[in-house]
Amino acid sequence: MKFVVAGATGALGRLVIEALLERTAPGEVVAVARDRAKAADLAAHGVEVRIADYNKPETLRGVFAAGDRVLLVSGNEAGRRVDQHRAVIDAAREARVALLAYTSVLGGPTATFHIAEEHIDTEQALLASGVPYCLLRNGWPHENYTGALDTALKAGSVVGSAGAGRVATAARRDYAEAAAIVLTGTGHENSVYELSGDTAWTMAEYAAEVSRQTGRKISYTDLPQERYVALMVDAGVPALGAQLTADADAGIARGELGTTPGDLSRLLGRPTTSIAEAITDALREL
């Protein structure tokens, strides 16, 4: 049996590998990646690297083995993810893996923003496959916001389209640790976890916390979706990405990413990382 991370060289996948290495021997961990060079640092730590591409189903044959416990980290190519994920699910079914965990989206089939659609379709494909599954319905990571702190500080404003909606973020490292716990633990087969931070906050509260920590007046500017999309496109964000981001903000305004069921902190056995801690860390790195 191996603990296999498909999508291992992405931001989340790398953190899952780190969390696995804290719990098991490197020889039991497998990183699946498209580019061997990008996984060279993982190999240097004793992790086995297997090369496969979600877009090329034939490369996935033989990547998994009977009894493997696999994490499918969702792809990042909007519009192509369902086919990509189905290819991984098919390969996992043929190999008779012991568990296939999937990083889905908070709320699953109740989420109505567009980013959720491919996750919902993937969940349905996984449930229909007969493979023992675990749905890790991740909420938004802090990094979605702290990654733009430099821009907010220069502009004196945090910009979005979420209104007064609340979002229950957690650190990407929290989600990664939860995935590693599921892969290496027992009793998670055919389970669903709604994973989010312990506390939900508004964008105005986020701006206020940035102000408190920096001593500078940072406001929240709430824009209509169309203006927010135009602003992002002007800043160099691809049009589709801008539209999906603004649409997700509308989901936040409807309350779809603000639920705090506590599944994440229960899996971790500790409180989730707070947004205030994440801001402190991000400011330290600027």
Condensed to tens digits (0 to 9), the pLDDT of residues 162-218 reads 999 999 999 999 999 999 999 999 999 999 999 999 999 999 999 999 999 999 999
Dihedral over Cα of 181, 187, 192, 194: its sign: negative
To 10 degrees, what angle do helices 115-129 and 81-95 make?
20
Quote the pLDDT of residue 49: 97
Sorting pLDDT into bands at 50, 70 and 90, what band is 17?
very high
What digits encode the pLDDT tens for the residues 116-131?
Answer: 999 999 999 999 999 9
If phi > 0 it is left, if psi is from -120 to 50 it is alpha, else beta; for residue 70 that is beta
- 3 state SS of 161: coil
User: Mean pLDDT score of the chain, rounded to an integer?
Assistant: 97
> According to the model, what pLDDT value does residue 83 have?
96
pLDDT tens-place string over residues 19-72: 999 999 999 999 999 999 999 999 999 999 999 999 999 999 999 999 999 999
In this prediction, residue 76 has a pLDDT band, given cuts at 50, 70 and 90, of confident
pTM > 0.95: yes or no = yes
Q: Which domains does the chain have, with CATH numbers?
A: 3-139+171-195 (3.40.50.720)
Alpha helix (H) residue ranges in 140-274: 143-146, 149-155, 172-184, 203-214, 225-234, 239-253, 263-268
